Amino acid sequence: MSSSSYKICFLASPAPEAQAAFAELTSLYGNHDVSDADVVVALGGDGFMLQTLHQTINSGKRIYGMNCGSVGFLMNDYRVDGLNARINASVENDLHPLQMKTINADGSKSVALAINEVYIFRQSYQATKVRVTIDGHTRLEELICDGLMIATPAGSTAYNLSAHGPILPLEAPLLAMTPVSAFRPRRWRGALLPNKVCVELDILEADKRPVNAVADNTEVKSVLKVIISQSSDRTARILSDPDHSWSERILAEQFSD
């Protein structure tokens, strides 16, 4: 497809900067409905990019983000000129989200997807107690902590990094399991897991130590069990400028201050 023939759908966060960019870009390039568009251009920050990726999973739509937020790790730089040419030259990465299944204290079950991470965290003043099982083998009989997350390479520079977890190259077939304020085992700092594993987290003493579970921006309260695995049949497609690719960003992040 030539760079002059893209039908673009612009989506913007409610932030004033993003709304101003939306007005400017649509006046220059027009705007198509998402169902009719070749490319979706997301205007906002990382949170809005995640929202857009979730909305377009398995649609085949490619998402090109431009930063109108704060950090913008998932976004390209905002520039008005030459947008079709930038999209034409962009690099595509296909992301397979994690699937979180939960069994909850009220007897219900839930399912949610995560492009960045799935994590559990304590609901009260008492630390979480959790049994960690991977592919049917119990690896930690009792982990006492404030929380525990499973992060994808795409999410390894987000909450995972703040919790001192490892940064994963985007192409790495790995997941990062990272504790938050682990108390016992005191020296356990997490693990690197193949991305094909199934992780089961059983909440111990759930009545006394209630726990919530989160998949990106979907939160489930008072869970008893969380099952996490990669959803290989779901795909989100993201575009980045070749001189500012995700792989380069993740590599550069490992040498930053």
> How is the chain split among helix, strand and coil, in percent rounded to 5?
20, 40, 40
Q: Given this model, what pLDDT does residue 172 score?
A: 87
Please list, in sequence order, all residues whose beta carbon lies within 8 angstroms of the beta carbon of residue 163, skipping any fewer than 6 positions away: 147, 149, 178, 179, 180
Q: Given this model, what pLDDT does residue 2 score?
A: 43
Locate the domains of the chain by residue range: 8-95+235-253, 98-230
Q: Given this model, what pLDDT does residue 171 score?
A: 81
Nearest to 115 by CA among 13, 197, 236: 236
- From the list 33, 36, 38, 46, the catalytic residue is 46
CA 100 to CA 112: how far, in whole Å?
A: 5
Q: Given this model, what pLDDT does residue 154 score?
A: 87
Question: 3-class SS at 162?
Answer: helix
> Is the CATH number 3.40.50.10330 carried by domain 8-95+235-253?
yes
**Binding site for NAD(+): which residues?**
46-47, 116-117, 146, 154, 157-162
Q: Given this model, what pLDDT does residue 201 score?
A: 98
CA 58 to CA 76: how far, in whole Å?
A: 22
Amino acid at 228: I
Could you count the other beta carbons within 10 Å of the beta carbon of residue 51?
Answer: 16
- What is the spatial order of strands in the sheet that 199-204 belongs to? 109-114, 98-104, 223-230, 199-204, 128-134, 137-145
Please list, in sequence order, all residues whose beta carbon lies within 8 angstroms of the beta carbon of residue 190, skipping any fewer than 6 positions away: 165, 166, 176, 177, 178, 179
Asked if 155 and 168 count as a contact pair (C-beta separation under 8 A), the reply is no
CATH dotted code for 98-230? 2.60.200.30
Asked if 69 and 47 count as a contact pair (C-beta separation under 8 A), the reply is yes
| Residue ranges in the chain whose pLDDT is less than 70 | 1-4, 245-246, 257
233: annotated active-site residue = no
Q: Given this model, what pLDDT does residue 12 score?
A: 97
Q: Given this model, what pLDDT does residue 257 score?
A: 64
Could you count the other beta carbons within 10 Å of the beta carbon of residue 125?
Answer: 6
Question: 3-class SS at 44?
Answer: strand
Backbone torsion region of residue 170, taken as left when φ is above 0, otherwise alpha when ψ lies between -120 and 50, otherwise beta = alpha
- Residue 201 β-bridge partners: 132, 226
